[in-house]
Structure 1
Amino acid sequence: MDTVVVRWTANRQFVGWDSEGHTVVMDATPASSGEGAGMRPLQVFLCGLAGCTGMDVVSILEKKRQDVRGVEIVVEGTQREDEYPKIYVDVHLHYRVTGYAVSPAAVERAIELSEHKYCSVGGMLGPQVTVRTSFEVVEAAPPGTPSIDRRGQRA
């Protein structure tokens, strides 16, 4: 069983932590009596969704022996406006996978497996939520090639 504790600190700000002491700050915007000092709870949910599916995708690609060097997921959520609760009705996840000779078919399959089988956060979304995915594969330098940073220096 997972347990977290969330405590109100001031105005509309809450801090949550897990049993290992990891924390997350949640706050409302200044227009909603907050200070904007942290993510809004629904943004935390989007981060949770991206983290969950990201862990799945990396694990699956490693099992497929893909040379993955980085994964970035941009998540956009659109809330319904006509009634409460203002749930997300459309969520789009765009995966940017960086690696050497990574198979686009392997990435596509890893995303599909995460979406339909493994991601617990995504599995909690009801049928009223449309989840769309897209991805791109960015080619990295071959193994053993020195990497160059933005200033042209060897990293």
Structure 2
Amino acid sequence: MKINFKRLNNDYHFETVNERGDIVHMDNKSEPNPQGASPMELVLMGIAGCSGIDIVMILKKQQLEMTNFQMEVEGMRVDGEIPNVFRKIHLKIYIDGDIPANKAKRAVDLSLEKYCSVAKMLEKTAEITTEVILNGAMVPA
């Protein structure tokens, strides 16, 4: 796996390109008009994408189709800490469809405990918690 990274202006706007040509813009979030996500926002996007792919794949393998899948990810850091890594990450996962609650919860747990490489890296510094909302109702932990 390899990416190219280049500066696009005289400040902090960067462009990353992977080997397939997919482009992601990055910027310093403290700039007045940032032109991309911050690196730490990309980390949260990474755990969402990694676990989202796992969850969908696990449910598809069980021939369970979703009508909607969304996630909110919140990362908490300690002000003033250097480096300022995430200490807590909370994933709120919304699933709609004819899916048993235990299977939805199990797919989420399998992703974060076994398959999601991003979560496995982040759990070394951050407590990762989840909420699963299935068809508008909270699935018990």
User: TM-score scaled by structure 1?
Assistant: 0.82
What one-letter code is carried by the residue in structure 2 that aligns with 1:109?
R
What is the Cα deviation at residue 127 of structure 1? 3.2
On the 8 A contact 1:96/1:137 being kept in 2, the answer is yes
On the 8 A contact 1:96/1:135 being kept in 2, the answer is yes
Q: Does 1:6 align with 2:5?
A: yes
CA 1:54 to 1:135, structure 2 compared with 1: closer, same or farther past 3 Å? Answer: same
What is the Cα deviation at residue 9 of structure 1? 1.2
What one-letter code is carried by the residue in structure 1 that aligns with 2:85?
I
On the 8 A contact 2:85/2:125 being kept in 1, the answer is no
Structure 1: which 5+ residue stretches go unaligned? 140-155
On the 8 A contact 1:95/1:136 being kept in 2, the answer is yes
1:1-155 to 2 correspondences below 5 Å: 2-10=1-9, 11-29=11-29, 32-33=30-31, 35-99=33-97, 101-138=98-135
On the 8 A contact 2:8/2:15 being kept in 1, the answer is yes
On the 8 A contact 1:13/1:34 being kept in 2, the answer is no
What is the Cα deviation at residue 126 of structure 1? 4.1
* Partner SS for 2:15: strand
Partners of 2:31 and 2:57 lie apart in 1 by 41
* Identity value in percent: 29
Q: CA-to-partner distance for each residue in 1:68-118, whole Å, 9 max, x for gaps?
A: 12211100001121320110101000110121x211110100011001100
Higher-Rg member (1/2): 1
* Partner SS for 2:67: strand
Partners of 1:62 and 1:22 lie apart in 2 by 26
Q: CA-to-partner distance for each residue in 1:107-139, whole Å, 9 max, x for gaps?
A: 100011001100011111143311010011127
On the 8 A contact 1:28/1:35 being kept in 2, the answer is no
CA 1:135 to 1:126, structure 2 compared with 1: closer, same or farther past 3 Å? Answer: closer
On the 8 A contact 1:13/1:35 being kept in 2, the answer is no
Q: Please identify runs of 4+ aligned residues in structure 1 that moved more than 2 A.
A: 32-35
Partners of 1:9 and 1:35 lie apart in 2 by 14
On the 8 A contact 2:15/2:23 being kept in 1, the answer is yes
What one-letter code is carried by the residue in structure 2 that aligns with 1:46?
L
What is the Cα deviation at residue 51 of structure 1? 0.3
